[in-house]
Structure 1
Amino acid sequence: MHSKISRHLLTHKNELKIMEIQMLPKKSKKRGMLFLELINEGNYKHNIEVLKNGGIFITARRESPDSLNHSPDEYLPCEFCKGFFLKNLLWHHAKTCKLGSIKNDEDDEDEKLGKSFVRKGRTLLYGSLFDENESNITHLLERMNDGEEKEIIKKDLIIKNFASIQVQALGEERIQKKNDMHRVSSNCRTLARLVMMARKDIPLPSLNKLLSPEHFDKIVKYASQLSSEVPSLGPRLGHLIDHCIMVKNGYAVRKNDETMLNASKNFKHLFDSEWGYRVNAPSRKRKRVANLNKPSKIPSTSDLVKFRDFLIFEMKESEQIVESTQDHLAWNRLAKATMCRLILFNKRRVAEVEDLPVEDFQKRPKWTSTEEFEESLTDMEKTFAKRMDLVEGFGKSKKNMKAYILLTPDSKRALEVLTRYRSAVGVCPTNKYMFARLHANTPLSGTTAMKELLGKCEGLKNPENITSTSLRKYIATVSQILDMTQGELKLLPKHLGHDVKTHKEYYQLSSSVLELSKVARMLYAVENGQVNAWAGKKMKDIQLEELPEPLPKDDDIDYELAQKEDQSSSTADTSKPSCSDHEQPSNSDSEQLQYIRSKGKRGTKRQWTKEETDCLRKKFKGYLSGIQKSVHQSELKEAQKICSTRTLPQLRAKLNNIKLGKSNC
């Protein structure tokens, strides 16, 4: 066959390649290689058409009877001769490829040995398979694992167009983040799984066919099945389908296909009216139910302090070794410790720190502000502004493009050491990341580094609670203790990379301690009917000491006698009737009532003296006159030195009674 096709090719005498072959001596090695290259080029173009439209697939080697069940998708072309070989055998051929040995005579031997033949074969194949507007998804498919999902993505019209638009939105490769392409790949695989599920009900399904009104109920069924295992997958799938509807609309408009456009619009009407109720709402409810009665795992302050001290020690020790010996292991250790230190201090997402480019650190500006703004700062804030430094990186979303990474003096010094000795320890010049992986173009994994250093740090009570997400929940929850203004409240979410609504809804956990203490005591106050004591006061002005102590246990109260006491007290308060108009309780009942009163109030009630009342009026004159809004705890402690027999809650209650005009003294 080879000789026959060679004789046929020689009939095309006017072609430049044939003219070059005819000038070479017959049966020469180079003449044979050029014939092989020309033959494989024709077979390659034929196989591309077969992969697109179907037909007989031509392989580089004759198939054995045992291997005839291989599909065309299991083959890849050799980057040198363009012959198609099985993927798992391509490396074996490429090492001994005759055309490869000729083309690489002038190349550096080390560079040739480092090439990935399978990856380059995929690049060659995908570059030929896709049209010009789909060529940007070549790199996306290269990084995907082979499987049924990948084959669907390669052949499905809507998924390919969706992926192409998503990749274009990422921008140039130099400004992409490490996981950007992975997110697009994950979205495409999710859509491919939807098409895979439809194979049970629809012959030869595609996303284009599914996005029509008659198949809407089937898509809802498939989405519900997927979200039953992962609740968040339902809303996410709806978001992707909404994008694909727009992609289908655009394709129909370009092709002037009214049938496809009408089907897409009708599907959109059904989607907008029913998807939220039939898929999103059950998924979110399922997620809320699954999270009930699960304690929020946020790290303890003592663990964070210990881990911080451990990281600072690691940084100092490895800095000294790097500066003295330029050891690559010490440099790697310093990079991991510094990265974890920045994550711990800034409470940022792991990816925002590990993806920090070294260029952003080196070219950071000298941060200055206007004189008016500097004059508004306190002395402490001015000191912090001088000591700290700042680097702006890429944030997670389009809304929060900037990731503000504050640099403490120790972190800044460590970053300067890492930058100074990069080339000395063997970091690739093409690696753009500050925390670079040695002999690679990728950064170190922040999650792996955090787990590794937490395992080395001794004395931690719950090291598993120290994660990037839990740190963000920790700072959002602990910040509730601070009396932050509305402007200050916006600063923290902005630093963390989300808005105030997300900050309050997802990160700011309701502390169980606050529920069991402050909220419980306020509810007791309402239950005891003592809310009128705070009339005219704001909730923020009510001190914890003003709240009543919890009532005794329910088993210790005689409810019948308590009801009699309430009736007698309410009767006594109305129009002061004479004793003859009402029956007096018996001695035994009076003794029991007195027991209830004394037990509920914890001690015998003592009359306030005129000297004590005058002392309080004089000391808290500003509060009683309304000039001062609240009383500080330290002021009450000073008053307690004079009224030594009174507790702080008693002093505060007396002040409120005087202010409300309920004091007789």
Structure 2
Amino acid sequence: MHCAYCQGLFTRNVLWRHIKVCKLGPEGFTPKPGKNRVQSLCAFAQPVPSHISKALWKALSLMHGDEITAAVKNDSCIIQLGEHLLNKGGSTAKHEACIRQKLRELGKLLITGRNVASLKTMDDFIHPQNYMKMVQAVRHTCGYDSEANTYKTPSLAKKLGISLMKLSKLMKAKALIAEDHCLAQNFSNFQEIHKERWCELISATAARNLEESKWNAPTVLPFTEDVQKLHAFLNKMQDELIKQLSAEPTSKYWSELAKVALTQIILFNRRREGEVSCMLLSAFLSRDSSDPHDDIDWALSEVEKKLCRHFSRIVIRGKRGRPVPILLTPKMLNAVELLVKNRETCGVLKDNVYLFARPSAMSHYRGSDCIRSFAKSCNANSPDALTSTKLRKHAATLSTVLNLKDTDMDQLANFLGHDIRIHREYYRLPEKTLQLAKVSKVLMALEQGRLADFKGKNLDEINIDPNEEMELIDDDEGRSEVEDETYEELGEAMQEESPEATQVPPLDTALISLPERKKSLKIPSVKGKTHAQKRRKAWEVIEIQAVETHLKNFISSCRVPGKLPCEQCIRAEPSALKNRDWQSVKFYVHNRIVAYKKDLSHNV
């Protein structure tokens, strides 16, 4: 290979040594370590072949210099497919990497076809008379085992089928432009054969292999405790690094804070790590920082209005070019603004367009590497489960404990970047407001490990103040021996034997006074428990008023209190509730919630 500066001819293995001492090299130039980097530099400096555009040549120069790369560069069909993909997707670094991967797949197939099926060029692969030879080459490339009827790499078999069909359509269009109808008919015949026989010969077996490999794969989800540990660890690091970077702007502090901020944004938003890692500086600088329109405040609760002004929102490019939102808390926003302010001071190149850039380089930090490193450092019980993909699945799985309507579920799915079946008419509010006011509540509940507290609620009923920390109730402490197995059975029996407990007016009326019961409730026997034939006495007005005064919030929010708040209520009203234990108070609140829900359903 020729040197990019002196044009001397050297073997590839020693070229990197020559570049270090080349007398014609630019002053102050320090080549990056590694043989492949030097070879890519020299390959790009070579004259661009006439059949390859400069943009594609630049992308191909980064490919590893081996026989596959040589086959790709010397085949006109593969080059035309590369030009097509580059024109379609643009010259971004991420898209160029995908193009190189697809072209190398075809390069492997081409080399295999030359060895096992006498197919010399990619034109031969898409000729209808060579279809069975092409199938033989694909099977050999993907490691097909005829006895077990399995592929070593079934995903490659499916990808090659798509690439061959795309290549045949591209070559057919070229033949039609040149008015070569005979050649165009050949490609049409190949496409007809491909549609009829590819599934039978290749893709059905490959799809079955892929599906079977997932059957017994363990489902790994992160523990809520580990997520909380990681959040706490990152928050502590962020506070320390902000102080250090503000006092002494250095590349080390800037890099560490960039990694922490990148991980926090991925973790809080449950976003794909590649989407956040590639976030552009321009996307952050051009974010919409205006307040929500006053005319739409009527559709939001007081808490949702606060959330709209608490979070900042950035829209970035996501999977398949879809716009995906990113929500930033004030602490995250402060950290990112500090990073932007000190970019050039800390050695980030001016031409680097990424927000989480590497100092003295044109690349960015990878979110997967950052999450993996911090997951191990925070002493999580299962650090391998803390990945962006598993965290996204964790959020989607745990959201099923909420009583989300279809529209609410669509909002959450849309925020996570999942496919939505149809765009419903529910989107009357601006999408920005819905994500800031509603989806952010789920994210905050996940961050605090409190999602179970809002079981059975929809997004409108969840209330979390971003500036306050709500008290966590220990469910294990509030759980009695009987409650775990007989809670629902006891509640239903009380409702059947005392119907007046469920016929109450709505909660927005004055304090409720129940009529005196003429008979007490008999609790059904429970096998293996000591509370078998316990009797309950009718509730008096003074007792009802005492409970409603201290536990009305639980009733209005349809949450059954645990042991701790019930005991606090009894201690606050010792004279009124002297004949009641905490379980009696708890079951009373449970009946009130059931009555309230039934009343609401009747009104609807």
Q: Distance in 1 between matches of 2:303 and 2:139?
A: 55
Residue identity opposite 1:419 in structure 2: V
Q: Distance in 2 between matches of 1:393 and 1:369?
A: 20
Q: Distance in 1 between matches of 2:21 and 2:301?
A: 73
Residue identity opposite 1:479 in structure 2: S
Match of 1:110 among 5, 21, 28: 28
Residue identity opposite 1:238 in structure 2: G
Note if contact 1:77-1:85 (Cα within 8 Å) is conserved in structure 2: yes
Rg bigger for which structure?
1
User: How does the TM-score come out when normalised to structure 2?
Assistant: 0.67
Matched, 1:428 2:349: yes
Q: Distance in 1 between matches of 2:331 and 2:532?
A: 60
Residue identity opposite 1:167 in structure 2: L
Matched, 1:215 2:130: yes
1:307 match = 230
Q: Distance in 2 between matches of 1:110 and 1:430?
A: 18
2:360 match = 439
- Structure 1: gaps spanning 5 or more residues: 1-75, 503-543, 549-597, 613-630, 656-665
Change (3 A) 1:452 1:120: closer
1:261 match = 184
2:297 match = 374
2:338 match = 417
Matches within 5 A, 1:387-398: 387-398=310-321
Residue identity opposite 1:87 in structure 2: R
Residue identity opposite 1:288 in structure 2: E
Residue identity opposite 1:110 in structure 2: G
1:469 match = 389
Q: Distance in 1 between matches of 2:526 and 2:341?
A: 73
Matched, 1:166 2:166: no
Change (3 A) 1:87 1:373: same
Q: Distance in 1 between matches of 2:334 and 2:20?
A: 47
Deviation (angstroms), 1:331: 1.4
Residue identity opposite 2:113 in structure 1: A
1:295 match = 218
Matched, 1:243 2:166: yes
Matches within 5 A, 1:14-33: none
Deviation (angstroms), 1:363: 2.4
1:150 match = 69
Aligned-CA RMSD value: 4.4
Matches within 5 A, 1:75-224: 76-80=1-5, 82=7, 84-90=9-15, 101=24, 109-111=27-29, 118-125=39-46, 127=48, 129-131=49-51, 134-171=53-90, 173=91, 176=92, 178-224=93-139
- Structure 2: gaps spanning 5 or more residues: 144-150, 423-485, 491-524, 539-556, 567-579, 596-604
Note if contact 1:78-1:117 (Cα within 8 Å) is conserved in structure 2: no
Note if contact 1:134-1:161 (Cα within 8 Å) is conserved in structure 2: no
User: Residue by residue, what CA displacement relative to the aligned partner does 1:460-499 show, whole Å, maximum 9, x if unpaired?
Assistant: 1101100010011001101111111222111122212221
Match of 2:263 among 316, 323, 340: 340
Q: Which is worse superposed, 388-397 or 304-313?
A: 388-397
Note if contact 2:261-2:336 (Cα within 8 Å) is conserved in structure 1: yes
Residue identity opposite 1:390 in structure 2: R
1:493 match = 413
Matches within 5 A, 1:36-75: none
Q: Which is worse superposed, 360-369 or 136-145?
A: 360-369
Note if contact 1:231-1:283 (Cα within 8 Å) is conserved in structure 2: yes
Residue identity opposite 2:65 in structure 1: D
Deviation (angstroms), 1:442: 0.7
Match of 2:278 among 349, 355, 361: 355
Change (3 A) 1:447 1:603: closer
Q: Distance in 1 between matches of 2:252 and 2:110?
A: 48
SS of equivalent residue, structure 2 residue 327: strand
Change (3 A) 1:633 1:387: closer
Matched, 1:484 2:484: no
Q: Distance in 2 between matches of 1:344 and 1:423?
A: 27
1:273 match = 196
Structure with the greater relative contact order (CA < 8 A, sep ≥ 6): 1 or 2? 2
Aligned pair count reads 466
Q: Distance in 2 between matches of 1:372 and 1:438?
A: 45
Q: Distance in 2 between matches of 1:274 and 1:603?
A: 70
Matched, 1:324 2:268: no
Note if contact 1:321-1:327 (Cα within 8 Å) is conserved in structure 2: no
Deviation (angstroms), 1:405: 1.1
Note if contact 1:220-1:278 (Cα within 8 Å) is conserved in structure 2: yes
Change (3 A) 1:234 1:547: farther
Note if contact 1:126-1:138 (Cα within 8 Å) is conserved in structure 2: no
Deviation (angstroms), 1:83: 5.9
**Whose helix proportion is higher, 1 or 2?**
1
Q: Percent identity?
A: 23
Q: Distance in 1 between matches of 2:325 and 2:394?
A: 18
Q: Distance in 2 between matches of 1:186 and 1:473?
A: 27
Change (3 A) 1:270 1:415: same
Q: Distance in 2 between matches of 1:601 and 1:259?
A: 86
Change (3 A) 1:119 1:291: closer
Q: Distance in 1 between matches of 2:170 and 2:489?
A: 61
Residue identity opposite 1:217 in structure 2: M
Q: Distance in 2 between matches of 1:182 and 1:271?
A: 28
Matched, 1:456 2:377: yes
Matched, 1:385 2:308: yes
Deviation (angstroms), 1:184: 0.6
Deviation (angstroms), 1:602: 9.3
Note if contact 1:158-1:247 (Cα within 8 Å) is conserved in structure 2: no
